[in-house]
Amino acid sequence: MKKLIAIIAVALPLAFSARAQWIVYDPTMNAQQIINEAQSIAKYVQMINNQVQQIQTLTSQLTEFKNYEAVFGNPAKVVLSMVAPLKADLQSLEPGLSLENLVANANGNIALTFNNSGLYATVGTSFQTPGGQTVQRLADQYKLFSAVINSASNYVAVADNAAQRRAALKDQIAQTTQQLQNATTDAEVQKLHGVLTSLNADLASTDDEVNQAASAAVVQDIQNRNDQQKQIQALTEQQNAEFAESVSNYTAKFQLLNQPVQFPTP
What is the rounded distance in angstroms from the CA atom of residue 92 to the CA atom of residue 89? Answer: 5
pLDDT of residue 170: 93
On whether residue 3 sits in a domain, the answer given is no
Does residue 25 surpass a pLDDT of 60? no
Higher per-residue pLDDT: 174 or 251: 174
Q: What is the mean pLDDT of residues 219-244?
A: 85
Does residue 5 surpass a pLDDT of 60? no
Does residue 10 surpass a pLDDT of 60? no
pLDDT of residue 154: 93
Per-residue burial over 142-163, b = 16 or more CB atoms within 10 Å of its CB, e = otherwise: bbbbbbbbbbbbbbeebbebbe
Query: Quick check: 122 and 145 in contact, CB under 8 A?
Result: no
Per-residue pLDDT tens digits for 63-96: 666 665 565 566 667 677 778 888 888 888 888 8
Distances (CA, A) of 108 to 96, 139, 142: 22, 4, 4
Does residue 189 surpass a pLDDT of 90? no
On whether residue 222 sits in a domain, the answer given is yes
23: left (phi over 0), alpha (psi -120 to 50) or beta: beta
What is the rounded distance in angstroms from the CA atom of residue 228 to the CA atom of residue 220? Answer: 12
pLDDT of residue 16: 46
Q: What is the mean pLDDT of residues 32-47?
A: 78
pTM over 0.75: no
Does residue 130 surpass a pLDDT of 80? yes
On whether residue 45 sits in a domain, the answer given is yes
On whether residue 8 sits in a domain, the answer given is no
If asked whether residues 67 and 188 sit together in one domain, one would say no
On whether residue 140 sits in a domain, the answer given is yes
Enumerate residues 6+ apart whose C-beta is below 8 A from 202.
86, 89, 90, 169
What is the rounded distance in angstroms from the CA atom of residue 129 to the CA atom of residue 72? Answer: 84
The domain boundary, picked from 9, 38, 72, lies at: 72
If asked whether residues 98 and 205 sit together in one domain, one would say yes
pLDDT of residue 235: 81
On whether residue 209 sits in a domain, the answer given is yes
If asked whether residues 203 and 102 sit together in one domain, one would say yes
Per-residue pLDDT tens digits for 52-61: 888 877 777 7
Number of domains the chain is built from = 2
pLDDT of residue 27: 67
Query: Quick check: 72 and 187 in contact, CB under 8 A?
Result: yes
On average, the pLDDT of the chain sits at 79
Higher per-residue pLDDT: 24 or 168: 168
On whether residue 130 sits in a domain, the answer given is yes
Does residue 152 surpass a pLDDT of 70? yes
132: left (phi over 0), alpha (psi -120 to 50) or beta: left
If asked whether residues 96 and 160 sit together in one domain, one would say yes
Helix axis angle for 186-253 and 143-182, nearest 10°, is 170
Q: What is the mean pLDDT of residues 39-45?
A: 79
Per-residue pLDDT tens digits for 194-217: 889 999 999 999 999 999 999 999
pLDDT of residue 91: 84
C-alpha torsion angle, residues 190, 192, 195, 199 (rounded to 10): -130
Q: What is the mean pLDDT of residues 229-254?
A: 81
Domain boundaries, position 201: 75-248
